[in-house]
Amino acid sequence: MALELDTQYHRIMSIILSYSAKTSQIQMSVYVDEAARIAGDLPIVNKTYFINESTPATFTSLFAVGQIDPLGENPVKLFYDHLKTLTEYSAATDV
């Protein structure tokens, strides 16, 4: 699962969840395109997102146990869905 935006390929590399602190840290790498990632090229940029209860998309709304259920929801899919609500990813498509 990944997002494509302006031919760049965005991939979540790690998600760290702390249910006791209700915080998460999401590491994402951006590549020139999917072929570059598959070829083992280095990302052109790495991004880190922090989610807690005071951010617009709160930890509870994204990662509550009820959100991660048998319908196939998982932290990676939920965060990709959240990214697509941000202005900088409004033109992104799933690849």
Q: What is the pLDDT of residues 29-80, one digit of tens each?
A: 999 999 999 999 999 999 999 988 888 778 888 887 776 766 677 788 888 8
This prediction has a pTM of 0.73
Owner of token pair 């951010």: 55
Gap between the Cα atoms of 33 and 30, Å rounded: 8
pLDDT score recorded for residue 71: 67
